[in-house]
Chains A and B, each alone.
Chain A
């Protein structure tokens, strides 16, 4: 029941955006802003033949970058939150490196790691990992001390504490951090895909732009937007599945 209603709200969102788009398109009335209908028709026409391969590449890079950031960022954040010594040692490093605009490192990474997949995935990884570390660390720090006491007096091992308290307690903040980082990651992905590759939504959109093929360009933008929608949807789904206790 609730699931269905949620789907309806997504439809409303799409409808409102298309209406605004249509209004702007009819006001400007130039090929540079085509109406949504033409774009959607074009999108359907080229989806399998052109977009699928580009979309898959982009999706793979984002997912790989996120997974890498989770594998390294979550344990680091958990340890920093739980052990004050880790926090003291690592926080300055995180604070010093977090504000560096990662995109500025792209040329260096491309020189060192080549133009291929590694530098792109690493870029997304770098964007996301800091938010994951800080969110998970603060999530652990905000657990009241009393929560640990019954487990300590039961003789819980660090593994017990890890599984039963640290991971579930930091999960909501972790998912929020992934949400926040995801939008940035997609923008950065777009940028990195304009260099040294012939696949990816970034390449596809820029290529269509160079060829002054506005229809294909808009189709690409719509696909990128839908990709974001799907990724956010997956995170929301995980949130409801894993963290439903916090809505009680």
Chain B
């Protein structure tokens, strides 16, 4: 991992990454494990965190992930289209100990495909692999499904033990288009950046 800023020799991609999946599948836990290396047995629904960022380096290429959490809006099927806007990658998470969670994951895949973003890298993650004896969804079934739907990545992960969590994010970084992009949504003419320093570049009126 690297914190280097826009280095001359390193190209950088900024990538919005969204997480989808049923309540309790472990979306927030996966992000927390990846970004902070932490795991809490009774993770509260995340309060007050809009998104987290984490930078990874793959072959001298820096990918800065901007990771969006559903903020609980998936619970009553009320995720806003804004959530998907400009996303470069999506991770669909299911709890391998729950058939319901697996069925919901498949409907999230359909929902994503309906958005019609052909360049989106979609990863499927069967979470909670630390207690495989409780498994209700077989690896073969999920693998076959991922292949059939042409999903880019399938992995079984454990946010608790950390198994395959970094692999998941690094695989995504690998699949992203290599060319460095500007902040995906602000490109083009007339883009403006809002900040608190209102009117800083205000011109004083001058007599001519």
The reply to whether chain A is a binding partner of chain B is no
| Residues of chain A at the chain B interface (Cβ within 8 Å) | none
| Residues of chain B at the chain A interface (Cβ within 8 Å) | none
